[in-house]
Structure 1
Amino acid sequence: MRRIGIVTGTRADFGLLCRTILLLQGKSDIETVVFACGTHLSPEYGLTITELEESGIKNIIPIEMLLSSNSRVGVAKSTGLATICFADAFASHNLDCLLVLGDRFEIFAAAQAALFLGVPIVHIHGGEVTEGAFDEALRHSISKMASIHFPATEPFAKRLMQLGEQPSQIFVIGAPGIDNIVHASKANDIDLHDVVTFKNLEAPLFLVTYHPVTRGDAKENDINPLLNIIRERDDINFLVTYPNADAEGALMIKLWLELENLNNVILYPSLGFKRYLAVMKQAACVLGNSSSGLIEAPSFKIPTINIGTRQKGRPKSCSIIDTSMNDIALMNAIDKALDTDFIFQCTQAINPYGEGNASEKIVKILSEVDLSDCQSKPFYDRDNT
């Protein structure tokens, strides 16, 4: 029996991991332990651990590690606390490997603990670039700690080789987020009226998520230009989901709450990934700096307005409108997203992150891969091969 640990710390990474977890838990020769941490356990961010339970996930172990402070010091201390808590949890569960996704600080903490305990690490979404977040450094660090890699695209796989990772341990699978679109029940089956109750039901719907920029231009964390545009564009309905629990996140939430009395704005701490995709399916545009606008939205053939530098370096489809955090640029981007010619262009979009079935590939490989020699990691030097 192979015992696999899985870490999820946010609504976002759980949405990407959910199908993989359910497929693993359906296999008789694999036992899983799901470690839920971070904002999953925070009422302020929607207490999304309930979504794991509602999705049918079994054997969930809560890991308390998130401090109430969202400052940079608070994030650093939360990372240290998380490493301690994960070390205890992993040591008591005798894991054969640990499956993690992405680049969050809680995932970095889990990888550190697993590395020191000699637990092989399997990493999804490595090799990517997001220049506007310190997550990029965390992602590459996790990749160097990992033994098995599941990048989304061939360019990401090549970047992992540049980091010295062995080609034989790199498996290009596409983006797991696309699986939710392909395999979930039809998003149109969810009635938007059960999620949102705007006064003007005929207005186009924009799905908004803006996360703190943790590396680069700090001015991008001033979201007042975005708020000003939303106040001005009363011809559009805006459904806003809360930012990540990074430094500046709490301040952004306070600013968003200033708009909660507007008829064309609805705030959600978390929609959960199923309702989030249902809203995206029926939205006119995705607005903000979330990776979902680049990875999932192109599969729905709708425009994405990508603000600032947080996602700089990611591959982008023709449906992406890059803009900066200022009033004029944002207004122009919104006008473009509503332009009929651009909307038609989006219907021709090809998603660079694949067509789905990443979860099946992950489960097959994890069922068959040899984990016995994972701690031996010779550096792959492409110039000497």
Structure 2
Amino acid sequence: MRRLLITTAGRSDYGIYHSILNRIEAEPELDYSLLVTGQHLSTAGGETVREIERDGRPIAARIPLPETMSNCAAVADAMAAALAGTGALLARGAFDIAVVLGDRFEMFATTAACVPFNIPIAHIHGGEVSFGAVDDSLRHAMTKMAHLHFVATDDYARRVRQMGEEDWRIMVSGAPALDTIMNANLPDRAALSSKFGISLDEPPLLVTFHPVTRQFGEAGHQTRALLAALEAVDHPVVLTAPNADVESDVIRMLMTDFVRRRPGRSWLVESFGALNYLAMLRESRAMVGNSSSGLIETPGFQLPTVNIGDRQKGRTRAANVIDCAADKNAIEAAIYKAIGPVFRASLASMANPYGDGHAADRIVSRLRDIPIDHRLIAKSFVDL
């Protein structure tokens, strides 16, 4: 039986893995364990490892990291701790393939730890660009360490080839999150309202906003602009807590104060969990923020999305995305356009550029069947 080690560092990647883990569990030739780290084990982040435990997923190791909310040095310390902890796990456990996803600093560190062990690395969601975040550099570095690439679109496959990767290593799988949207039994409106104590009598704006890590010092200004626009629109608002990047504490503080001033009209949820978050997209009138989920998952619900600022600059967009500057007036105008009936009606026949809902089948079949040999491990560089 082939053993996979799958790294999960937070609520967002765990949600994306959902369909892949289910597919692996149905495959008799594969076994897996999770390396759990990052925000999953953070008290401030809601200790989302509990969702993994409730799902009954096997955990190979838990690697706690220093809190990193407003401290660049703490991010470097966290990367060091993730790398060392992963190395200790690999030294005592035999794994055939390591599976990583995306571009987070925690994920980069666990990927780097696999290199001296010559463990083949499978990377999901490579080839993408997000100029506003330092994660952009980490993602491309992970591509060069990885041996298999599961990308979401043809354009992203082209970028991976441009980085010198051999064509046979690259598969256009689509985005795994779409599998869950199309196939999972999502919680209904009443269950969401009851579980999180939010009113869904009127479809809210769902806000997911994170620090723009290449614009250090701007988190406060940008968040104030966002919240001022939300106040001007005067619509019910459900905010999700920011991730663990530097300056996330500033965003969290401002969001908390915003919700306090708008009782019964605004709510801050630390972590919805994978399926509940998708259900919230279904129930919302529009999504507002700068999260990749606004580009990848929202098209599956034909949900209007206001994408603020530069954090996702460079990523493929569907017709439901309205880009705007991180400015109060620009955000307000974009929200009014998004919630207008004309724009929503224009999305009725839109296609999602990120896939067809069968990514997990493609990924797991490849992980099962690829020969683990010298050809896989000894990478060549393709000069264009």
- Please confirm whether the aligned pair reaches a TM-score higher than 0.5, indicating the same fold: yes
Q: Which residue of 2 aligns with 1:294?
A: 295
Letter in 1 for 2:356: E
Per-residue CA deviation, residues 178-221 of structure 1 (Å, 9 max, x unaligned), is 0110111045466342245456x554311111011011475355
Letter in 2 for 1:258: D
| Deviating more after overlay: 23-32 vs 251-260 | 23-32
In 2: Cα distance, 1:50 partner to 1:196 partner: 16
Secondary structure (helix, strand or coil) at the match of 1:45 reads coil
Q: Could you tell me whether the CA contact under 8 Å between 1:302 and 1:347 is conserved in 2?
A: no
Structure 2 unaligned regions, length at least 5: none
| Deviating more after overlay: 143-152 vs 334-343 | 334-343
Per-residue CA deviation, residues 197-255 of structure 1 (Å, 9 max, x unaligned), is 456x5543111110110114753552111112223333x11110111101001121111
TM-fit CA distance, 1:280: 0.5
| Deviating more after overlay: 258-267 vs 179-188 | 179-188
In 1: Cα distance, 2:186 partner to 2:251 partner: 33
Q: Which residue of 2 aligns with 1:375?
A: 377
In 2: Cα distance, 1:297 partner to 1:195 partner: 22
Q: Could you tell me whether the CA contact under 8 Å between 2:69 and 2:248 is conserved in 1?
A: no
Q: Could you tell me whether the CA contact under 8 Å between 1:102 and 1:139 is conserved in 2?
A: yes
Q: Which residue of 2 aligns with 1:131?
A: 131
Letter in 2 for 1:40: H
| 1:260 matched to 2:259 | yes
TM-fit CA distance, 1:132: 0.4
Q: Which residue of 2 aligns with 1:330?
A: 331
Q: Which residue of 1 aligns with 2:67?
A: 67
TM-fit CA distance, 1:30: 1.7
Q: Could you tell me whether the CA contact under 8 Å between 1:124 and 1:149 is conserved in 2?
A: yes
RMSD across aligned C-alpha pairs, in angstroms?
1.6
In 1: Cα distance, 2:202 partner to 2:29 partner: 51
Q: Which residue of 1 aligns with 2:305?
A: 304
Structure 1 unaligned regions, length at least 5: none
| 1:174 matched to 2:205 | no
Q: Could you tell me whether the CA contact under 8 Å between 1:182 and 1:356 is conserved in 2?
A: yes
Secondary structure (helix, strand or coil) at the match of 2:4 reads strand
How many pairs were matched up? 380
Call closer, same or farther: CA 1:182–1:371 in 2, change over 3 Å.
Answer: same
Task: Map 1:216-231 to 2 at 5 A.
Answer: 216=215, 218-219=217-218, 222=221, 223-231=223-231
Q: TM-score, normalised on structure 1?
A: 0.95
Per-residue CA deviation, residues 102-125 of structure 1 (Å, 9 max, x unaligned), is 000000000110012211110000
In 1: Cα distance, 2:291 partner to 2:162 partner: 26
Per-residue CA deviation, residues 308-339 of structure 1 (Å, 9 max, x unaligned), is 00001111011101011111101101110121
TM-fit CA distance, 1:292: 0.5
| 1:163 matched to 2:166 | no
Q: Could you tell me whether the CA contact under 8 Å between 1:104 and 1:135 is conserved in 2?
A: yes
Secondary structure (helix, strand or coil) at the match of 2:377 reads coil
Detail structure 1 runs of 4+ shifted over 6 Å in the superposition. none
In 2: Cα distance, 1:25 partner to 1:186 partner: 20
Q: TM-score, normalised on structure 2?
A: 0.95
In 2: Cα distance, 1:217 partner to 1:45 partner: 21
Task: Map 1:114-125 to 2 at 5 A.
Answer: 114-125=114-125
Q: Which residue of 1 aligns with 2:93?
A: 93
Call closer, same or farther: CA 1:69–1:229 in 2, change over 3 Å.
Answer: closer
Q: Could you tell me whether the CA contact under 8 Å between 1:125 and 1:151 is conserved in 2?
A: yes
| Percent sequence identity over aligned pairs | 36
Per-residue CA deviation, residues 135-182 of structure 1 (Å, 9 max, x unaligned), is 010000000000010011111011001000000110110000101101
Call closer, same or farther: CA 1:70–1:372 in 2, change over 3 Å.
Answer: farther
Q: Could you tell me whether the CA contact under 8 Å between 2:189 and 2:283 is conserved in 1?
A: no
In 2: Cα distance, 1:33 partner to 1:198 partner: 35
Q: Which residue of 2 aligns with 1:148?
A: 148
Letter in 2 for 1:102: G
Call closer, same or farther: CA 1:198–1:14 in 2, change over 3 Å.
Answer: closer
Call closer, same or farther: CA 1:259–1:319 in 2, change over 3 Å.
Answer: same
Call closer, same or farther: CA 1:157–1:144 in 2, change over 3 Å.
Answer: same
In 2: Cα distance, 1:344 partner to 1:379 partner: 47
In 2: Cα distance, 1:144 partner to 1:185 partner: 37
Letter in 2 for 1:381: D
In 2: Cα distance, 1:195 partner to 1:240 partner: 15
Q: Which residue of 2 aligns with 1:343?
A: 344
Call closer, same or farther: CA 1:221–1:214 in 2, change over 3 Å.
Answer: farther
Letter in 1 for 2:249: A
Letter in 1 for 2:52: L
Q: Which residue of 1 aligns with 2:250?
A: 251
TM-fit CA distance, 1:92: 1.3
